[in-house]
Structure 1
């Protein structure tokens, strides 16, 4: 009996280590949704609890949403830009937002045809997971510039309006990214989510114009609205966790 004690202790120690050690890379574990039966969101990767009393937008997480869309059941792409409802009212309307997008180098899809999957996002506005309102691509040159983006790759973004009864802010929530060319099946570039966000932001804060209208955006950087790293992110591409809150002013 005494001779078997060390072996028992060894077995117990190994069982404890197996229970307490993570399996694989924690960044690759899907992010738990707020309604997941396994428990609440894990805040160990830089995400903070929901933010209250924000001006011009409502934190989706207050009502069960999140700052990552749903590309699959668990994985998604970051909603890394918010156009605050304190912006110029014309920009908050769909035609005005399209004009503003053109002023910073984007336009509607090639020949009005949609390419790729429809992404869903829960903005915590009471409408649940809803499909993207707009998919906008980099406009390389006049007339067919977005067709070239579909072939060559480049920057694009999806946009959703926060307009449900639980959070009718009118803000635009944007998932921006940079993708590879068609020969690479439009996969997201390495660091493509951060690059896509920064491309949009740089043009917005530099100032822009379209058909006699001039705009310039003010920016506030927010951290803690989503996790850092690859946790919950489609394609396993890491993000820095920062969200740009833009207020677009008419000049």
Structure 2
């Protein structure tokens, strides 16, 4: 009985030693322990990928601590879902030219030049930290008072920031586009309104447009992974698909 137990213990020890990653093989070399690769940086969730490098006409804000959500409240933001690349017509990279371009695709400044709602901040990773929107542009339903009607009836609008700081002076416009409900709903964003607002802007841009004798047409390149998909951190709890449209707008 004792001999049988001794044989069983010896066999168990032999099996254990042979299965150990530290065992010496027949050539007297140690078999290495395989350890899974661990990420060096932050763990990205919901489809977000590490910052992009060597982009043309714009710089990924995340390289310098920025992000693709603006700051609507202390903890929530709205997606910066369109970029007008600095490879675009130089005229529209300046504020007056950009306003003309916005007019050409059916947008204009706010009703009677008056601002409604809170100012949003954004950090474009350009060295200027969180800065307020340069422009808020609304859908222009008809001449003169068309944007006043948008303020009442609801519709498409967007905020825009220029990436023009000392450490990332690309000159690109970063845009947060969305579609909102009417004033009786306190201008709350429509269901799926962030994706809808972005797609509306892009559709107008790639179709081609004109304003006061100037003609433009845009090419689009879609990017995923610049921001997370879903509702995490998004104002109003409205899910986004995480896609960003990079537009290069050419003068015809």
Note closer, same or farther for the CA distance 1:119–1:224 as it changes in structure 2 (3 Å cut). Answer: same
Largest Rg, 1 or 2: 2
- Aligned pairs for 1:159-198 (under 5 A) are 159-198=160-199
| Aligned: 1:76 with 2:77 | yes
Residues 176-220 of structure 1: per-residue CA shift (max 9 Å, x gap): 000000010100000000000000000000000000000000000
Q: Once the 2 structures are TM-superposed, how far is the Cα of residue 111 of structure 1 from its aligned partner?
A: 0.2
TM-score by length of 1: 0.84
2:217 maps to what in 1? 216
2:33 maps to what in 1? none
TM-score by length of 2: 0.83
Backbone CA RMSD of aligned residues: 0.7
2:226 maps to what in 1? 225
1:148 maps to what in 2? 149
How many Å separate the matches in 2 of 1:88 and 1:55?
A: 14
| Aligned: 1:64 with 2:79 | no
SS at match of 2:201: helix
How many Å separate the matches in 1 of 2:122 and 2:226?
A: 15
Residues 102-160 of structure 1: per-residue CA shift (max 9 Å, x gap): 00000000000000000000000000000000000000000000000000000000000
How many Å separate the matches in 1 of 2:90 and 2:195?
A: 27
| Aligned: 1:132 with 2:169 | no
How many Å separate the matches in 1 of 2:177 and 2:196?
A: 8
Q: Once the 2 structures are TM-superposed, how far is the Cα of residue 42 of structure 1 from its aligned partner?
A: 4.4
Note closer, same or farther for the CA distance 1:110–1:44 as it changes in structure 2 (3 Å cut). Answer: same
Q: Once the 2 structures are TM-superposed, how far is the Cα of residue 173 of structure 1 from its aligned partner?
A: 0.1
SS at match of 1:45: coil
Q: Once the 2 structures are TM-superposed, how far is the Cα of residue 41 of structure 1 from its aligned partner?
A: 5.1
Number of residue pairs matched by the alignment: 212
Q: Once the 2 structures are TM-superposed, how far is the Cα of residue 240 of structure 1 from its aligned partner?
A: 0.2
Residues 58-108 of structure 1: per-residue CA shift (max 9 Å, x gap): 000000000000001121000000000000000100000000000000000
Structure 2 alignment gaps of length 5 or more: 1-40
Q: 4+ residue stretches of structure 1 with deviation over 2 A?
A: none
